[in-house]
Amino acid sequence: MFALPADTINTFSAQLPVLIVASRFGADYAGYLAMTIRLLGAPVTLLGRSVLDVFKRYASVSFREKGHCREEYLQTLRTLALGALAFCIAMLIAGKTAFVLLLGSKWAMAGEIAIWLLPLFSLRFVASPLSYTFYIVGKQHVDLVWQIALLAMTVATLNIAASPDVALKTYTYGYSLLYLAYIYLSYRCSLGMKPMKSMV
Q: What is the pLDDT of residue 198?
A: 44
pLDDT digits (tens, 9 = 90+) for 135-192: 999 999 999 999 999 999 999 999 998 899 999 999 999 999 999 999 999 999 999 8
pLDDT at 53: 93
**pLDDT tens by residue, 87-108:** 999 999 888 888 888 888 899 9
Q: What is the reported pTM? A: 0.88
Query: 193 versus 68: which is more confidently predicted?
Result: 68
Per-residue pLDDT at 1 = 67
Residue 140 neighbours by CB under 8 Å, 6+ apart: 1, 2, 3, 6, 134
Is pLDDT of 197 > 50? no
Burial 51-88 (b: 16+ CB within 10 A, else e): bbeebbeebbebbeeeebbbebbeebbeebeebbeebb
Please answer whether residues 133 and 190 qualify as being in contact, where contact means their C-beta atoms are separated by less than 8 angstroms.
yes
Half-sphere exposure of 61 (CA within 13 A, CB side): 6
Contact predicate 142/134, CB 8 Å: yes
- pLDDT confidence bin for 110, thresholds 50/70/90: very high
Give me the pLDDT at residue 196, please.
40
